[in-house]
Amino acid sequence: MTGPRGPRGDVSGTPGARASSGIVLSDRLREQADRAQPRRSIRWTEWILGGGSVLAAAAFAWPFFVGAVPADAQVAVPIVAFALIPALIVALALTLDREMYTAKTVALLGVLSAVGAAVRIAGAGVGGVEAVFVLLILAGRVYGARFGFLLGLLTIAVSSVLWGGFGPWTPFQMFACGWVGAGAGLLPRRTKASPPIEPGRRATAQRSRRRWEIVVLAAYGVVASYLFGLMMNLWFWPFAVGSGTGISYAAGADAGQNLASFALYSLVTSTLTWDTVRAITTVVGITLVGPAVLAALRRARLSPRR
The per-residue pLDDT for range 44-60, each reduced to its tens digit, is 667 777 788 888 888 88
% of the chain beyond a pLDDT of 90:
30
What pLDDT score was predicted for residue 104?
A: 82
What pLDDT score was predicted for residue 253?
A: 75
Helices 199-234 & 170-185 angle (0-180, nearest 10): 160
Section 273-281 average pLDDT: 92
Ordered domains of the chain (ranges, CATH)? 103-298 (1.10.1760.20)
Among residues 45, 149, 140, the alpha carbon closest in space to that of 89 is found at 149
Section 24-32 average pLDDT: 43
Q: Are 270 and 229 in contact (CB under 8 A)?
A: yes
Q: Are 282 and 224 in contact (CB under 8 A)?
A: yes
pTM of the model: 0.76
Please state, as a whole number, how many other Cβ atoms lie within 10 Å of the Cβ of residue 141: 27
Statement: residue 123 has pLDDT above 60:
yes
Among residues 242, 229, 222, the alpha carbon closest in space to that of 269 is found at 229
What pLDDT score was predicted for residue 4?
A: 42
Among residues 233, 87, 109, the alpha carbon closest in space to that of 173 is found at 233
What pLDDT score was predicted for residue 146?
A: 87
Q: Model confidence over 286-304: pLDDT tens digits? A: 999 999 999 999 988 665 4
Statement: residue 33 has pLDDT above 90:
no
Helix (H, G, I), strand (E, B) or coil at 164: coil
Give the span between the Cα atoms of 171 and 30, in whole angstroms.
40
Please state, as a whole number, how many other Cβ atoms lie within 10 Å of the Cβ of residue 177: 29
Q: Model confidence over 244-253: pLDDT tens digits? A: 777 888 877 7
- Output the CA torsion sign for 216, 221, 176, 103: positive
- Output the CA torsion sign for 278, 284, 290, 293: negative
Identify which has the larger pLDDT, 231 or 251.
231
What pLDDT score was predicted for residue 190?
A: 67
Residue 10: pLDDT band with limits 50, 70, 90: very low
Section 230-251 average pLDDT: 82
Statement: residue 66 has pLDDT above 60:
yes
Q: Model confidence over 87-121: pLDDT tens digits? A: 878 777 777 666 666 778 888 999 999 999 999 88
Identify which has the larger pLDDT, 34 or 170.
170
Identify which has the larger pLDDT, 23 or 106.
106
Residue 73: pLDDT band with limits 50, 70, 90: very low
Residue 178: pLDDT band with limits 50, 70, 90: very high
Q: Where are the alpha helices (DSSP H) in 123-169?
A: 132-143, 145-163
Among residues 150, 147, 169, the alpha carbon closest in space to that of 160 is found at 169
Phi, psi angle pair for 51, to nearest 5° = -65, -40
What pLDDT score was predicted for residue 167?
A: 81
Q: Model confidence over 180-222: pLDDT tens digits? A: 999 999 998 865 545 555 666 666 777 788 899 999 999 999 9
What pLDDT score was predicted for residue 280?
A: 94
